Amino acid sequence: MMVKFGLIAVVVAAAACGGGKKGESTTVDDTRSEPTEAQPTDNSANMVPPEKMDEITRLLDRKRGIISRCLSIAVDNKELPKNSRGKVTLDIVIAPSGKAETIKVINTTLESKSLTDCVIGHVRDIQFPDLPKPYPTSYTYAFEAM
């Protein structure tokens, strides 16, 4: 018991003094020739507020009904079989004016030009809220033919 206590005391003492080798020292070189200017940290005027992000998501959600009809168009055009199901993921950049500046399909499990053109067209029609800066986002629409 006494040996364990002695060993613990040695470990604690080594840890308390840093446990470094003799002769080693650590110094901080804080010799700056010029004072540094503080960088502004308040970027809130250039950030998209969370409530605007939520509104954008709600607007994209509301288009689900009409966008689901895009699958019917692709099936009618014989680009996809009647029992098709899958997803289309869009990369969207919304301009400060609230219009979709760029819309790209970044992933799809349904290869159909009329489907993707239809989805992009409906998203392009959405009037998003005005924003302080361009807002990049992505959104996935799921499809299932009945």
Tell whether 118 is covered by a domain. yes
Tell whether 98 is covered by a domain. yes
Tell whether 25 is covered by a domain. no
Tell whether 19 is covered by a domain. no
For 48-52, 63-67, 111-115, 142-146, which range has the lowest pLDDT when averaged over its residues?
A: 142-146
- What percentage of the chain reaches a pLDDT higher than 70? 69
**Cβ–Cβ contacts within 10 Å for residue 23, how many?**
5
The distance from CA 23 to its chain's CA centroid, rounded to whole angstroms, is 50
What are the φ/ψ torsions at residue 10 (nearest 5 degrees)?
A: -65, -45
Q: Which domain holds residue 87?
A: 49-144
pLDDT one-digit tens code per residue, 38-48:
555 555 667 88
For the chain, the maximum distance between any two Cα atoms, rounded to a whole number of angstroms, is 87
Considering its fold, how many domains does the chain have in total? 1
CATH no. for residue 123?
3.30.2420.10
Tell whether 79 is covered by a domain. yes
> What average pLDDT score do residues 56-76 get?
96
Cα 28 to Cα 18: distance, rounded to the nearest angstrom: 16
Query: Which residues, at least 6 apart from 54, have a Cβ–Cβ distance to it below 8 Å?
Result: none
Tell whether 80 is covered by a domain. yes
Residue 12 pLDDT? 42
Tell whether 68 is covered by a domain. yes
| Cα→Cα distances 134→55, 128, 129, 141, Å | 15, 12, 11, 22
